[in-house]
Structure 1
Amino acid sequence: MAKKNISKYLTHEEAAHAIVEIGKRMYLKGFVASNDGNISIKIGENEILTTPTCVSKGYMTEEMLVKVDLQGQVISGTTKPSSELKMHLRVYSENPDVMAVTHAHPPVATSFAIAGIELDRAILPEAVVNLGTVPIAPYATPGSQAVPDSIAPYCRDYNAVLLANHGAVTWGKDVFEAYHRLESLEYYATVLMYTGNIIGKANELSSKQISELVEIRRNFGINTGGVPKGKDLERSTDDNPPDELLIRDIVEEVTKTVLKKYRSN
């Protein structure tokens, strides 16, 4: 009988199988095009198994994967890792609890990233519990050191981040959690798009309802994700538009008072 793996790390074979499976799901979902996207799994204290550069995630094989250390140096494999590996390594460095990272370009979420709109509205209970809010990291040239630097502030307190004009990154305690957060992120963005731009209305949850969901999230052992905005946590100035005539009268009165005081001096 084969001995069961009780380590917190997947074996090389287990991780390789999981990466190929997730790559196919990302490709079939339309989260990546051509050779876009990358996936990594931590398989040891100083070992990462990751996807190669210039390979479609829908046609990837286990033999193509490459093993690197936490400094990005290749340990084994006949291919080169993606230039975006720096981003994955930064997530692992900033948050030791992370065991897997996914990066993709899901079209709706990426559209929000291009528009500079964070995913922070409390409209879906599942999104509040499983994902939380998704901030936007400042724009950085893909493949450069500026990318990992841009996401570093978000790695401990959130479960995902949008990359301005680029795509999305998610992470988790295993590669399936990281990938499921990617799915949740795209679904959340899609619902926000429909309610905001097509239907034109979204009934947001209240702060009390959000608090209850955050408590459920904590009970699941998830202490990251931030707290989305509820309908009673903010109010648009459009809700109570100012009286322009009143403002003009106030300005005129203040001006007269200032001029009178100035002339008397």
Structure 2
Amino acid sequence: MDIQTIKEQICDVCHKMWQLGWVAANDGNVSARLEDGTFLATPTGMSKSFITPEKLIRIDAKGNVLEAAEGLRPSSEIKMHLRCYEKRDDVWSVIHAHPPGATGFAVAHRSMDMYNMIEDVAVIGSVPLTPYGTPSTVEVPNAIEPYLEEHDVMLLENHGALAVGSDVVTAFYRMESLELWAKITINAIILGGSYDISRENIQKLIDLRGYYRVTGRHPGYKKYPRREEGAPTDT
């Protein structure tokens, strides 16, 4: 994919995140890996609604700026993005945002370790809650690193959500799926409880990943002992 197309995808995703209310003011950041080993990243201090191709910044694997419009620099959260690329050769885009439903789980210190939605069981699997890290420091990349081996989506404690993908659109889709899933689960809990799919059917859904050509990692069904049939998922 040529660089201009990737730039346009990043801008489109930034605008969509702002329109969906996943970011406000200067929140969130998006990046993409390029074929030459460099990266494109959104600038700091700018609303995602204002991002245009010429405002994107090109950096190297250490975060050094290679190309940038005057006065622009990458987000201080770029350390988190670069850690994802360093640890996962299959990751070509990273998105960080504050979608209200999913971030609600992060603020409540609740992982989304559940198997209650057919699509999300197959595509994402359980979503962990990573330990708290001070933004702009190496604490955040250090906090997410242990989860990168098995997860493409994770919650950042008291912070927001992170999604990685084989391209910008895939990373965005995962964040979009996460947020809808979080909202549905919250509604289910309000209505009396969220109920997991049976273990047998969970495995069938995981096995369908190959058929649907789903890329990325999946934690499988192993995060907790099976609850008694009919027991609600309320954590």
CA distance in 1, matches of 2:132, 2:92: 25
Q: TM-score, normalised by structure 1?
A: 0.81
Partner amino acid for 1:27?
Answer: W
Selected match of 1:21 from 3, 7, 12: 12
Q: String of CA shifts for 1:201-228, please: whole Å, max 9, x gaps.
A: 2332111000000000133244622135
**Gap regions ≥5 residues in structure 2:** none
- Residue 203 of structure 1 corresponds to 195
Q: Secondary structure at the match of 1:75?
A: strand
CA distance in 2, matches of 1:161, 1:90: 14
Matched, 1:63 2:54: yes
- Residue 105 of structure 1 corresponds to 98
Q: TM-score, normalised by structure 2?
A: 0.91
CA distance in 2, matches of 1:227, 1:117: 19
CA distance in 2, matches of 1:131, 1:199: 24
Matched, 1:35 2:26: yes
Structure 1 residue 154, shift from structure 2 partner? 1.3
Q: Secondary structure at the match of 2:11?
A: helix
Q: Secondary structure at the match of 2:96?
A: strand
- Residue 244 of structure 1 corresponds to none
The change in CA–CA distance for 1:208 and 1:109 in structure 2 (over 3 A counts) is same
Q: Tell me, yes or no, if the aligned pair for 2:165 and 2:216 is still in contact at 8 Å.
A: no
| Alignment map for 1:176-187 (pairs within 5 Å) | 176-187=169-180
Matched, 1:150 2:138: no
Structure 1 residue 159, shift from structure 2 partner? 1.1
Selected match of 1:46 from 27, 37, 40: 37
Partner amino acid for 1:63?
Answer: E
| Alignment map for 1:1-265 (pairs within 5 Å) | 10-78=1-69, 79-196=72-189, 198-219=190-211, 220-222=213-215, 224-228=217-221, 233-235=226-228
Identical-residue share of aligned pairs (%):
36
Structure 1 residue 229, shift from structure 2 partner? 7.0
**Gap regions ≥5 residues in structure 1:** 1-9, 240-265
Q: Tell me, yes or no, if the aligned pair for 1:205 and 1:230 is still in contact at 8 Å.
A: no
Partner amino acid for 1:137?
Answer: T
Partner amino acid for 1:148?
Answer: P
Aligned length: 228
Q: Tell me, yes or no, if the aligned pair for 1:131 and 1:160 is still in contact at 8 Å.
A: yes
Q: Tell me, yes or no, if the aligned pair for 1:137 and 1:161 is still in contact at 8 Å.
A: yes
Q: String of CA shifts for 1:128-164, please: whole Å, max 9, x gaps.
A: 1121111011000111110001001111211111000
Q: Decide which moves more: 132-141 or 222-231.
A: 222-231
CA distance in 1, matches of 2:17, 2:151: 21
